[in-house]
A and B are shown apart, each in its own frame.
Chain A
């Protein structure tokens, strides 16, 4: 038995890198420090595992599956390449080259997660930092429209509310505010809970900014919150030494979407006139940030990149995958390390099921069940090493802890094989 320390967990955007695992007989037998989700992933990743490639449900060799995938992609007029957030940066990089070669549209899961955050940032900018800056300095933390107890379980202890840094020694030296539509488990740990009315975050953010700038509000109540409460909150925000706003899909998915982010950006920007304030999106998948980074350095754009003109083109709402599917524009799809059938609106799924789909994943998902070609791949961060970017864009290296099942390649290897064969067919 051997113990591997400083393991980077391949689950969520927290990308905790202090996990310790015991490996025996090529199996992970113990996980230390991981949250419940982390432990499950490290110990149960072989559940519903796929061991052999399939075409139309029938088992085939890897070469046959790749040839079929290449044929589908080469013949497609407007192929879509989607997913990417749960694999290595190296694999995603190959994906970009494939998408460019075949003139397809490449999108990653940010478009249904923090895509609106990126859109808001592109309009209005953002004041942010790495997580350690919060750990070391923040004496006031807001969680707005996110629920770290459930979605980023170790975030509060490792990076935010309860973390211990150089200047702030723990939870007692911080004020924690939670803004949400329900009194979540995260809200129950807060000093102040603001129960905002659903679909009214934009108004509340704007009112808060007004109160910061002018002190007093004209209305009695905004978004279900009494004016005095908002004014009190504004005072707290101004008088902190270092404030950090963590926000999640409560802002990106509810009415306003990207505009909610702009309102939050404007509030934080205004606060920087009085004190130091930052904001950070709670990124979901462990390498969605990496997908944005590599797509941006290779194409200029972080998601929703269309190559049909031979050069990158970006237009959210037009080149984003849900929209491409809903319009029925793409005639083939390559899905890597993602399960859109699980999460997309029905109309989009219906159209996805009409076209030939190639899926790379390690276990059965709803997407594999409608795929023409399924190619099983290794689990990045457990069976394959690779690069991944944390929610604050800090890049880390995922480790290989055990050997994959014999004959199963990594996403990167499969994509390289597909790229090589495509290059022979497409000039």
Chain B
């Protein structure tokens, strides 16, 4: 398991795939991911393409670990905007209206046998009922 700072943000693939639709295969492929620095991948003992569990004080989610092409950023994990990232986020906005979508402390551990939830299953998990 490693400790990281979580950054969420836009990526070209996230932008393209969301225009293809939030329930498309491409969206899940490009957004349910966690970009890790090659050194962090090594420490974690995970190969690119394998699933990991990312956990913060506020929630946890299974996504696919990939090797970052925007490294180095040891100790920082990047997850594109989307429902997988949002589950991990704190609701408190510190009187600004803005939840802390960057800079949240997280832990990452291998989860090679666990399944990435598709958006519908994610919603069910958050909301407690079928959408």
Contact = CB atoms under 8 A, between A and B. Distances in A.
Interface of A: 11-12, 36-37, 40-41, 44-45, 47-48, 107, 111-112, 115-116, 119, 147, 149-151, 153, 181-185, 187-188, 195, 198-199, 249-250, 252-255, 257-258, 284, 303-304, 316-318, 320-323, 326, 339, 341-350, 353, 363-366, 369-370
Given A111-B98, A253-B98, A342-B22, A323 B12 contact: no
A185 to B, nearest CB: 6
B94 interface: yes
B19 A115 contact: no
When A and B form their complex, which 3 residue pairs have the shortest distance between CB atoms, in order from nearest? A320-B97, A317-B95, A369-B131
Nearest to B4: A198
Interface in B1-36: 5, 7-12, 15-16, 19-24
B48 interface: no
Given A112-B99, A344-B86, A198 B10 contact: no
Given A153-B12, A183-B70, A369-B131, A115 B96 contact: yes
Interface in B47-86: 58-59, 68-73, 76, 78, 81-83, 85-86
B45 interface: no
B103 A255 contact: yes
Interface of B: 5, 7-12, 15-16, 19-24, 58-59, 68-73, 76, 78, 81-83, 85-87, 89-103, 119-120, 122-123, 126-129, 131
Contacts of B86: 342-346, 349
Contact of A37 (B12, B85, B131): B12
Pick the most buried of A11, A252, A345: most chain B CB atoms within 10 A of its CB.
Answer: A345
Contacts of B103: 198-199, 253-255
Contact of A150 (B8, B12, B119): B12
Contacts of B70: 147, 182-185, 187-188
B27 to A, nearest CB: 10
A199 B97 contact: no
A187 B69 CA distance: 12
Contacts of A107: 97
A95 to B, nearest CB: 18
Given A147-B10, A182-B71, A345 B97 contact: no
29 contacts: A37-B15, A37-B16, A40-B20, A47-B24, A115-B97, A116-B98, A147-B70, A151-B15, A182-B70, A182-B72, A183-B73, A198-B7, A250-B9, A254-B102, A303-B97, A317-B95, A322-B99, A323-B93, A341-B83, A342-B82, A343-B82, A344-B86, A345-B86, A348-B99, A353-B129, A366-B22, A369-B120, A369-B123, A370-B127
Contacts of B123: 341, 349, 353, 366, 369-370
Nearest to B68: A182
Nearest to A252: B98
B96 A339 contact: no
Nearest to B15: A37
Contact of A112 (B69, B76, B101): B101
Nearest to A316: B97
Contacts of B89: 345-346
A40 B16 contact: yes
B50 to A, nearest CB: 21
Contacts of A116: 96-98
